[in-house]
A and B are shown apart, each in its own frame.
Chain A
Amino acid sequence: MKKSVFLGALTVAGLTAGAAAAATLDDVKARGTLNCGVTTGLVGFAAPDNNGNWDGFDVGVCRAVAAAVLGDPQAVEFVPTTGKTRFTALASGEIDMLARNTTWTFSRDVDLKFEFVGVNYYDGQGFMVPKELGVSSAKDLDGATVCIQTGTTTELNLADYFRKNSMNYEPVPIETNAEAQQQYLAGACDVYTTDASGLAATRAAFEDPSAHVLLPEIVSKEPLGPLVRHGDNEWGDVVRWTLNALIAAEELGVTSANIADMASTAGDSPEINRLLGTEGNLGEMLGLEADWAVKAISAGGNYGELFEKNIGETTPIGLARGLNAQWTDGGLLYSPPFR
């Protein structure tokens, strides 16, 4: 008798807690910080610098969301996650969003019950080999030893590719990028494979980057994007439209330099006005301040600025825009309209 009362009390407690957990936006506002899951360290995407400040392209997305919601790009608690822990961290509510170059796949979206809010980087899995091997195509890699950074879809794509081309290989799965790189440089494997962006970042850190080539084959589609839990659509909308705001801002020519001007008074372009909150009430619809997008864009600049600063051609990583150009420039970035 007593026990059923006890359990009943627990049910009530549990349900209220469950209901509270669903409203992530309120939680974040109440807490005053955004818990954002990132990698344990991948230069250009998310890595702590000498002073322990996180920096990178994925980090930029986190900061933009924090700025949009809380008004402060620094109000982010970065939670480093590994390939193994990231999904549990998100599912259990330890983090509010995950921006950890995670590939958008069917099973993650449907079976694991996550919601990918968009794509912030179109990537694909590539191969890096030492130039002296004289390999010019991934089709020549029959019998090679391949170092893989585990924890993403890499192993599966690799297995599929070699199977499809009926080639053999020796996989060497390695936990961290740094260790995989050491194996590769010591010649313990012939090929290093991970996302092409990761390969470029890795090669940039080599003693002699020119001694290594990236093979032309890209063996998989890797749309990387931030994700949130299923079932909390309000919060999903906030993250989705913050990302879209960054992309749209580049398309519309809004940069961190001119945004202060543009946001002070309503301009000629209605879409910019709606984006920046000088017209309409988009912010209110999201449950945010009117100038949410202004803060998000001011945090680190628009999509193009973030890209250039962290992984663009002027950085050691030196990635070209490629697929990640605006649709107007022949890329795939295409933000739905702000209206």
Chain B
Amino acid sequence: MSDTHAESVAYVRETMLPETPPPAAETGITRWMKQNLFATVPNAVLTVAAIVVIYFLLAATLPWILNGIWNAASIRECREILDGTTGGCFAVLSDRWNQLLFGFKYPSTEYWRPALAFLLLFVAAAPVMFFKYLPRKMLLFTAVYPFLAFWLIWGGSIVPPLVLLLGFVAAYVAFKTLEKRGFGVAVLGGLGVLIVAIILAGSIGKIEVLRLEQVQSRDMGGFMLNMILGTVCISLSIPIGIALALGRQSDMPIIKWICVVFIEFIRGVPLITLLFVANVVLAYFLPPGTTFDLIIRVIIMITAFASAYIAEVIRGGLAALPRGQYEAGDSLGLDYAQAMRLIILPQALKISIPGIVNVAVGLFKDTTLVSVISMFDLVGMIRGPILASTDWNGVYWELFGFAALLFFVVCYGVSQYSQWLERELNTDHR
């Protein structure tokens, strides 16, 4: 047909033109900018506004950061070196680095211990975080880690944590062997073994094996304290949260109401009032003469706080499961404990993981509130001893900027992980 065309219409082109490159405005960076920055007039206005904002942000901070002083003994020396020019006095960070990270009472020769515990935390957390990619056997280390970390950070003889660890293993074995005789019996048996182990661990703590210098809980401080509070409270609150969530879903009215009242009460008050309770009121509710460390009282309160929130997240997960799953469990003849353990919880927890991670991040940030009740966490160190010292009195931005950066790195990392996990677990088949 084409040849007829060529015969009948002389001006129709017979050959294809060579391809020309697209016009400059439609390629590369220009096109990208046109599409992404200057698509419409309001869009262009927004772009300009954004550039102005960024300029002001950079103009305010860059000279200050770039011209910063990293080496000086006091703020006066900083001021002398700067001599009127703009610049941060970051020397406070290098001077008080250890205090910011470990508090001021942790023995300086032992800093390697919390540092090592921190590194091992990643090894221990990895098999849980990337359970699809790492061998299951690594979970063994995760199970050992709490005892190892306790020994590393608090020091003392390795015997008590070891006995406790063996106690947990024994309790697990007892649970497994008794399981055939019913879940309740198995739990009781396991708990019994565990209590024996705890008593044992307490009584034979004097045996000196692999002794590390002992550090009191009240000597913990700095960012380490935030990390300890965050990890301990979150790990303790997950099982409690599960129990509370199940209790709230329970058919038994009394148990249900106990859980509801607990959860709603805790969620209804700010964490800071709970910390006040830990600090100024709790002592009145304990038997006279008992005093236990502020840090433990705070851990109790923060754990209670976190478990209420985690319970709500898990309740959401439980509610999101189709009714059929519960009915399937019943129709297989599983009892309550079996149905929960084998069918409901694995699915509900999977749905709740992103929510739990969010609560964890929020809680980790909230650990800074302990500075209000005179504990020397990272913010407490800054607001207390460092700013009160004659050397660094008046250095605010550098210190708070550093604290913000440290929290940002941790929380941003965790929340990125949570988003990755959410994609990974995405099971809604859309």
Q: Which A residues form the contact surface with B (CB < 8 A)?
A: 10, 13-14, 17-18, 20-21, 40-43, 47-52, 77, 79-82, 84-85, 88-89, 91-94, 175-179, 181-182, 185, 204-205, 207, 316
Contact = CB atoms under 8 A, between A and B. Distances in A.
A205 B393 contact: yes
Contacts of B104: 48, 51-52
Contacts, number: 103
Contacts of B376: 40, 80
Contact of B388 (A10, A47, A79, A204): A47
Contacts of A18: 288-289
A50 B73 CA distance: 11
Interface stretch (B152-160, B245-253, B279-287, B333-341): B279-287
Which residue of B108, B218, B283, B388 has the most chain A CB atoms within 10 A of its CB atom? B388
Given A18-B288, A21-B289, A52-B99, A178 B393 contact: yes
- Tell me the dominant secondary structure on chain B's binding face: helix
Nearest to B276: A84
Nearest to A93: B291
Given A14-B288, A80-B374, A92-B291, A85 B279 contact: yes
B383 A178 contact: yes
B5 interface: no
Contacts of A41: 384-385, 388-389
Contacts of B108: 51
Contact of B287 (A14, A49, A185, A316): A14
A317 to B, nearest CB: 9
B101 to A, nearest CB: 13
A48 B280 contact: no
A88 B280 contact: yes
B384 A40 contact: yes
Contacts of A50: 95-96, 99, 389
Contact of A207 (B216, B290, B394): B394
B373 A82 contact: yes
Contacts of B267: none
Interface string B246-270: 0000000000000000000000000
B211 interface: no
A204 B390 CA distance: 8
A177 B390 CA distance: 12
From A40, A81, A177, A207, name the one whose CB has the most chain B CB atoms within 10 angstroms.
Answer: A40
Contacts of A175: 372
B79 A207 contact: yes
B79 A47 contact: no
B148 interface: no
B114 to A, nearest CB: 15
Given A17-B287, A52-B104, A176-B384, A43 B390 contact: yes
Contacts of B288: 14, 17-18, 21, 93
Nearest to B279: A85
B289 A17 contact: yes
Interface in B65-105: 76, 79, 95-96, 99, 103-105
Contact of B218 (A77, A81, A84, A179): A77
B32 interface: no
A143 B378 CA distance: 38
Contacts of A82: 373-374
Given A52-B104, A79-B218, A185-B394, A43 B389 contact: yes
A42 B218 contact: no
